[in-house]
Amino acid sequence: MFNALVLNKEEDQKATGEIQEIDISQLPEGDVLVKVDYSTINYKDSLAITSSSPIIKSFPMVPGIDFAGTVEESSNNNFKTGDKVILNGFGVGEKYWGGLSQKARVNGDWLVHMPKEFTSKQAMAIGTAGYTAMLCIMALENNGITPDKGEILVTGATGGVGSVAISLLSKLGYNICASSGREEHSEYLKSLGASNIINRNELSEKGRPLNKERWAGAIDSVGSHTLANICASLKYGGTVAACGLAQGFDLPSTVMPFILRGVTLAGVDSVYCPLKDRITAWDRLASDLNMDQLNEMISTIPLSEVVDSTHNMLSGKTHGRIIVDVNS
C-alpha cells in the first residue's frame, strides 16, 4: 500500500482531492514501476487540481505532471531496477495517473534517465517548468539569438518558468529584462540575474501593431496582449519563445511584426516534445544551471499541502518552484 493524492468528481461538481491509501494492483498498466521521490506543482497542476480548466480527462485521477524517482520494476529494455528517472508530461497527471503519489506505473518510453549531476530533489526543483525554460532557450538559439544580439525579455518572471529562464540566461551571458507584477520580489529577480525589471502592466493592455524595437528575444509564459506587445517590440529578426497562458490563451496580434520585421513566434511544448530534445534539454540543464540559484527558488511541501498550494499559485501568492516531498 502507498499514499497518493486522488481527485474525484461528482457530475457537474468541482473535483475534490484527498490523500488515499492505494494498493499497487490499482495502478494503471505500464512497463516501469517507479518509487517516486519528489513531484512538483506546475501551473497546469494548479489548473487541474482546482478544476479551473478541464485538464483532467477521467476520474478518479492521481494528478501531477512530473516526478523524479527510482525504478522498482521494469520490463522495458531501456530501464532497470535502481535507475534514477524523470518524467515530464506525456499526459501523465491528465489522462494517466501522475506523480503526486509515492508510486507510479508508466510507459517507459515516457521516461528519461536523470543526469548524474542531479539528485531527485534537484531534478524536481527544475521540474516541468524548468525543463520548459530550457526548451525556450533552445528555441531562441535555434533561431540565431545569441547574447551579442541584445536584451532578452522574460515574462511571468517570478514564476517557475520565468525564474529558471532568468537563471539559465544569466549563466549563458545574456542581458535580461524581467517583467513581473510583483515589485516585492525585485531583489529575488536581480539575484537570479535580471539587470532590468519592468512592471507587467507595461505589456498587459492592448497595444499598437508595431512599437519601438526593444528586445532581441523573449521567453513568454503569459500569452494574450503581453505576447502581442512582445511581438510588436522585438528587434528586426527577433524571436519570442511562447510557452504559456498565465494572462490568457488569446493572441490579439497583427501580422505586422512578422512581415515587416521578420519576427519569429516559436511555440514551445513540453508535453509531447520528442525524446531527443528532452534529453538535450536535461543535459543542458545539468551544465548550464546555477545550482545555488536553484536552491533560492524552491519551497518544499508535503502531499497534504498540495491542494492549498495550487489555490495559492493561481491567486499569485507563490513564486519560484514548489517541490512536493511525497514521502513526508
**Cell numbers linked to 158:** 517570478
Q: How far apart are CA 250 and CA 186, in angstroms?
A: 28
Name the minimum Å distance from CB 189 to ligand NDP.
8
Do 152 and 146 touch, CB atoms closer than 8 A?
Answer: no
Q: Which is nearer to ligand NDP, 33 or 189 (CB)?
A: 189
User: Nearest 10 degrees: CA dihedral of 85, 86, 90, 92?
Assistant: 90
- Give the pairing type, strands 84-88 and 66-74: antiparallel
Do 204 and 226 touch, CB atoms closer than 8 A?
Answer: yes
- Matching residue, cell 497562458: 245
- Matching residue, cell 536535461: 282
Q: Which is nearer to ligand NDP, 232 or 245 (CB)?
A: 245
Q: Which is nearer to ligand NDP, 39 or 158 (CB)?
A: 158
Name the minimum Å distance from CB 98 to ligand NDP.
14
- Matching residue, cell 535580461: 176
Name the minimum Å distance from CB 82 to ligand NDP.
29
Q: Which is nearer to ligand NDP, 135 or 326 (CB)?
A: 135
Name the minimum Å distance from CB 220 to ligand NDP.
9
Name the minimum Å distance from CB 293 to ligand NDP.
16
DSSP H or E segment with residue 267: strand 264-267
Phi first, then psi, for residue 229 (nearest 5°) are -70, -30
Name the minimum Å distance from CB 205 to ligand NDP.
11
- Give the pairing type, strands 111-113 and 152-154: unpaired
Judged by the rule CB under 6 A, the positions of this chain that interact with ligand NDP are 42-44, 128-129, 132, 156-162, 180-182, 200, 204, 221-222, 243-247, 268-271, 313, 316, 319
Q: Which is nearer to ligand NDP, 62 or 298 (CB)?
A: 298
DSSP lists the bridge partners of residue 112 as: 86
Q: Which is nearer to ligand NDP, 26 or 265 (CB)?
A: 265
Phi first, then psi, for residue 232 (nearest 5°) are -70, -15
Q: CA–CA distance from 294 to each of 125, 195, 236 (Å)?
A: 7, 18, 33
Q: Which is nearer to ligand NDP, 176 or 245 (CB)?
A: 245
Q: Which is nearer to ligand NDP, 122 or 318 (CB)?
A: 318
Name the minimum Å distance from CB 29 to ligand NDP.
25
Give the SS3 label for residue 74.
strand
Name the minimum Å distance from CB 171 to ligand NDP.
19
- Under 8 Å CB-to-CB from 198, ≥6 apart: which residues? 177, 178, 179, 180
Chain residue at closest Cβ approach to ligand NDP: 159
- Give the pairing type, strands 32-41 and 321-325: antiparallel
